[in-house]
Amino acid sequence: FADNQAVTGGGAYRGLFYDCLFTNNAAEGGTSGNGGGFYMPVNFTPASTLYRCRFVDNRASNHGGGAYGSATYYSCVFAGNAAVANGGGVNDGVLESCSVLGNSGAYGGGIYSATAYYSLIYYNSAQFGDDNTRGGTLWGCCSYPSRYGVTVTDPPLVAGFRNPHLMAGSPCIDTGDNRPWMTGAQALDIDGESRQAGLAVDIGADEYDAGALAGPLSVFVSADYVTFGATYAPEFRAEVVGLAETLVWDFGDGAGA
């Protein structure tokens, strides 16, 4: 679902979705512009369900840049979405083992008034209040700052926002827990692999498997500004496509990370 626009629900409105990509959609209805990528009315039954979907670079003129409403998201990724008001990544709904990274909004850059289980909610930005979460309920999540329901506050060590594969040493590895849905046929991570590859379930949409780190890699690097003064510390970000074990920054002057 790409490059669509509607007053409400830019990419899609209600439904059951598997392995879908929602990208560059917009809900442009002023204060009615909710759910840039996907929209589901709040408290509407039956609720929508989405498995292993990616919401990337969607926007809303009101709430829910990536998605809005009473839906449940399993092993989904929300990255680079934006809302003028609440919930840059997600507004309302239930997140089961999802990754929410690099989204922005006025309140709740990552999620707003949602319930999240063992989800990774990091590197989001908000104009007011905490960058990552606002309201809602968290259970066993990785986020910052610390609050009830956050069990990991350290950086998650992901290879990128849009493809948030965990890298070796990530604090999210083996720190999640089994949920009832993980006994069924859809107990899969964002890559369609088993939800438990190690000692326990991992936090977030990706399940780290050291034995499966193979295949091609490509790296993209971006900066917040390309022109800046000597006293400004630019922010660089890498986006790795593929399964990387580790990521090292080398600036060619002896400094690295």
- The rounded percent of the chain whose pLDDT value lies above 90 is 77
Ranges 97-106, 152-161, 164-173, 232-241: which has the least confidence: 232-241
**Would you say residue 126 has pLDDT above 90?**
yes
pLDDT in tens, 176-185: 999 999 998 9
Indicate the pairing of strand 218-223 with strand 236-241: antiparallel
Distance between alpha carbon 60 and the CA centroid of its chain, in Å?
Answer: 16
Averaged pLDDT for residues 199-218: 89
59 three-state secondary structure: strand
Distance between alpha carbon 152 and the CA centroid of its chain, in Å?
Answer: 16
**Would you say residue 251 has pLDDT above 80?**
no
Averaged pLDDT for residues 59-69: 98
Instruction: Report in angstroms the alpha-carbon separations of 1 from 20, 26, 55, 102, 183.
Output: 8, 11, 10, 20, 29
**Would you say residue 202 has pLDDT above 80?**
yes
Ranges 71-85, 110-124, 206-220: which has the least confidence: 206-220
Averaged pLDDT for residues 86-109: 98
CB 53 within 8 A of CB 20: yes
- The rounded percent of the chain whose pLDDT value lies above 70 is 99
Report the alpha-carbon angle 42-47-50, nearest 5.
110
Mean confidence (pLDDT) of the chain: 93
**Would you say residue 111 has pLDDT above 70?**
yes
Predicted confidence at residue 107, as pLDDT, reads 97
**Would you say residue 255 has pLDDT above 80?**
no
Peptide bond just before 145 cis, omega within 30 deg: yes
Averaged pLDDT for residues 48-77: 97
Predicted confidence at residue 257, as pLDDT, reads 66
Q: Which two tokens stand for residue 233?
A: 């510390």
Predicted confidence at residue 172, as pLDDT, reads 98
Q: Which two tokens stand for residue 172?
A: 């999210």
